[in-house]
């Protein structure tokens, strides 16, 4: 079975790699400007002025737009996973390759759980627009915003180090 897939996909290895790398670029950078230059300054202003209704209004609007804008990242991520598995099979990789094993552990144990949480916050139960339109109330909305801020606080340093480490390992294959 694996050999059949390997033989069938072998001629397309570089094309699969192209899609994989393109999706990785979108996953890493698609929210960078919105995050760094819009979301973070607004959230810092809110943390310094938590009672200011105008700042909260801006914060909420920005976060709702961010929920929507993160779609590019969330389309790219499954593409990365599918093409990653195809590359693994096609190239005949296995866990004896040290850099690859470390990369897979980072992806499965750190990045996938982060993205699952992010999908929930942005598109499913934690989506702020849906909570607002559902009439759940101001408290439920505020809790959802706080939960998203907790997510961003905890995942930002993690993604910054381990997201870049994944790319470094794949390109430099250091061990």
- Site for another protein (CB under 8 A): how many residues? 50
According to CB under 8 A, which residues from 82 to 101 bind another protein? 95-96, 101
Give the burial class of 147: count Cβ atoms within 10 A of its Cβ; 0-12 exposed, 13-18 middle, 19 or more buried: middle
Give the burial class of 109: count Cβ atoms within 10 A of its Cβ; 0-12 exposed, 13-18 middle, 19 or more buried: exposed
According to CB under 8 A, which residues from 118 to 137 bind another protein? 128-129, 132, 137
The residue within the footprint of another protein, chosen from 88, 142, 164, 171 (CB under 8 A), is: 142
Both tokens assigned to 14: 């570089």
Pick the closer one to another protein by CB: 23 or 62. Answer: 62
CA distance 56 to 33: 21
Site string for another protein, 41-80 (x = CB under 8 A): x-xxx-xxxxxxxxxxx--xx--x---x------------
Alpha-carbon distance values, 107 to 40, 98, 150 (Å): 25, 14, 21
Both tokens assigned to 45: 């202003």
What residues line the site for another protein (CB under 8 A)?
40-41, 43-45, 47-57, 60-61, 64, 68, 95-96, 101-102, 105-106, 109-110, 128-129, 132, 137-139, 141-143, 145-146, 149-150, 152-154, 156-158, 160-162
């Amino acid at each position: 079975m694996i050999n059949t897939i390997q033989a069938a996909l072998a001629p397309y290895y570089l094309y699969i790699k192209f899609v994989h790398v393109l999706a990785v670029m979108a996953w890493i950078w698609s929210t960078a400007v919105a995050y760094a230059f819009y979301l973070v300054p607004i959230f810092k202003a809110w943390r310094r002025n938590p009672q200011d209704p105008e700042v909260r209004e801006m914060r909420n609007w920005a976060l709702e737009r961010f929920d929507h804008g993160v779609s590019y990242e969330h389309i790219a991520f499954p593409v990365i996973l599918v093409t990653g598995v195809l590359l693994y099979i096609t190239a005949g990789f296995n866990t004896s390759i040290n850099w690859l094993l470390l990369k897979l552990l980072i992806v499965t144990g750190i990045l996938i759980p982060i993205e699952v949480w992010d999908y929930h916050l942005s598109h499913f139960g934690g989506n702020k627009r849906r909570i607002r339109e559902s009439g759940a109330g101001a408290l439920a909305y505020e809790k959802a915003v706080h939960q998203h801020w907790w997510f961003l606080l905890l995942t930002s340093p993690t993604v910054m180090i381990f997201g870049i480490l994944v790319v470094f390992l794949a390109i430099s294959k250091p061990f």
